[in-house]
Structure 1
Amino acid sequence: METIEDQTLDQLASSGDDQPITQEHRDWMNAQIEETLAKKARGEIEYTPLDQVRREFGLDAS
């Protein structure tokens, strides 16, 4: 997996308390992402659009 260096990505992936992301946490996040993408590639999971999820839970999807 390639490393993406982007300040916005770092902000979105942060805990929100202005603390830096530790390398250990970044490695854990990357492993979770890779595992999820591998499951998708194997057909074990599929993408569900947000609007569909909102409708299923009775939330306003407008």
Structure 2
Amino acid sequence: MDLEEILKDLQKRFKEPYPEFYNRRIIFWMDRDREFEDEIDNLEIPDVKIIKMSENNKFRVKKLLSF
């Protein structure tokens, strides 16, 4: 899968209406081979916040997702 396919799929998922009683959509993306590590910084999807989790920010990410 290339970055263009991933971007199209993500855009499609974020455009879908929320299920009942939901007010946000969270998608976790695991890049085990780190093949998209550099490109993720250039990825732009309207109204989407991209958060890269690392060993140093796990608590911050947990806090963001809790609210």
In the superposition, the TM-score normalised over structure 2's length comes to 0.24
Higher RCO (C-alpha under 8 Å, 6+ residues apart):
2
Larger Rg: 1
The structure with the largest helix share of the pair is 1
- For normalisation by structure 1, the TM-score amounts to 0.25
